[in-house]
Structure formats: C-alpha cells, structure tokens
Amino acid sequence: MTMQVTDSVLLRSQQYALLGKSGGSLFDPETYGITPVSTNSTNWRGFSCQFAIQEGSLFLDSVSANVILEDPNPENIPLLLGKSAEVSWLSDRFKAAGIPIPTYLAAVNDVPMVIYTDIGAFLPYTGALLLAKDWEDSDYDLDRYQHRACHYADVREILLREGRVIEEYDRSSAIAAIRETMLTMSLGEQYNQRQQIREQIGRCFLPDQEYDYRY
C-alpha cells in the first residue's frame, strides 16, 4: 500500500506527524456536509487535517479536502464550524508543478481542494495520539514497511481525556535503540524478523491503547 499523507499536530510550535490514534475519529468532514474524494493513492481519505495542542487542550486548526462541487461558486461552499473555505483547483496545482493532469483525473472535470484555516475548534477527544517528527536520514537502510515510528528521531505519546492532555511520554530513546539494532541488520534480515521488530516497537507504547494507524 502507498504510504499515506498524515495529519499533523502542532505541539509547542513544532509540527509532528500523527502516526496513530486510539480513541476513534478525531474529525469527520461528512458530519459537516463535506464529502471528500480521493485524487491519488497517497490520500485515500481525500482530506487531511492539522490539529494543535495549546495550553494542554486539543484543537482542530485546519482542514484541506478534495471535493466535487456541483456549484463552484465559493459562496456556495459549506461553512465548517463557522469558517469559510479557500478554493484551490487541481488543474492549477498541476500547472504550477509543470505536470500534465492525468487522464483519469481530467475525467472528473477537475477537482477543487477546499481549505479551511484558523478553525480553532476544541475537540473533546479521549484516547492517545502517537506523534513523530524529524525523519531519519537512515531511512533507506530500514524496512519501509516496518512500523512508521522507527523512521523518526522524535516520537511522543500523548494521552488525552475529554480533550485535555493528562500525560505525555517521550518514546524517542526507546525507538532509537530499536532503530540502531535494525541498522545492524540487512533489509532481508529485517524482513524476516518484521513481526518480532513490530512487537518490540509496540511494547514501547502504553499497553492499554490499541492504535489505529490507518486513521
């Protein structure tokens, strides 16, 4: 499966990738009348979010979603939690990158991305979040299908109750030790021991949290 675009979490002015969560959905755009569509294999959900932890509380900061609009007039795009959207057209993004728009995408008559920013909505979420930043340059020597946490230098586990942070754990050292062991192994050896390594990584995290890594 193609590696998916991750949501992000702003923590102490640092942006972390959201690798997993244990407490159900953080945000569902369809609840607000927004139906995302996938335009490429890196984002099957068709949308992504940025969250923020500020003063010990969890907030929804921004949402970007690919949608098919019956009426492309920006004034008719639904509000999200009181916020209006900016519109970015797929064809314009391909042109800016100097890439021809693929035929299968052209067939859906262009797909706009609606972007909602500065939302600032408090989320009364209960569960744990697994966050990571600083992708390791040694990635090419690691099994790409292994647990994603092993590819990052800074790995943190955040436990929340009703939207409030109750515990934060720095798992970076434990993950780094496993990564160093993996780097002494060939890719073939890592592949043959994939399940054992995955279980070892899993033991670095809270035992009572079952993470959903697919969102």
Helix (H) or strand (E) holding 63: strand 57-66
Q: How many residues does the chain have?
A: 215
- Predicted pLDDT of residue 104: 62
- Structural domain includes residue 105: yes
> Are 117 and 31 in a shared domain?
yes
- Structural domain includes residue 18: no
**Tens digits of per-residue pLDDT, 79-112?**
899 999 988 876 776 777 787 766 666 555 567 8
**44-72: average pLDDT:** 90
| Residue with more model confidence, 182 or 70 | 182
CA distance 214 to 21: 9
Q: Which of 126, 125, 120, 151 is nearest to 10 (CA)?
A: 120
- Structural domain includes residue 11: no
Question: Of 122, 142, 171, which closes a domain?
Answer: 122
**Tens digits of per-residue pLDDT, 115-170?**
999 999 999 999 999 999 998 866 567 776 778 899 899 999 999 999 999 999 99
- Predicted pLDDT of residue 83: 93
Question: Of 98, 122, 146, which closes a domain?
Answer: 122
- Predicted pLDDT of residue 2: 65
> Are 98 and 151 in a shared domain?
no
Q: Is the pLDDT of residue 71 over 80?
A: no
Helix (H) or strand (E) holding 71: none
**184-190: average pLDDT:** 90
Domain range holding 67?
A: 27-122
Total domain count, the chain: 2
E-strand spans in the chain? Answer: 8-11, 14-21, 47-54, 57-66, 86-89, 112-116, 121-122, 127-135, 152-161, 164-170
Tokens of 72: 């492309």
> Are 41 and 96 in a shared domain?
yes
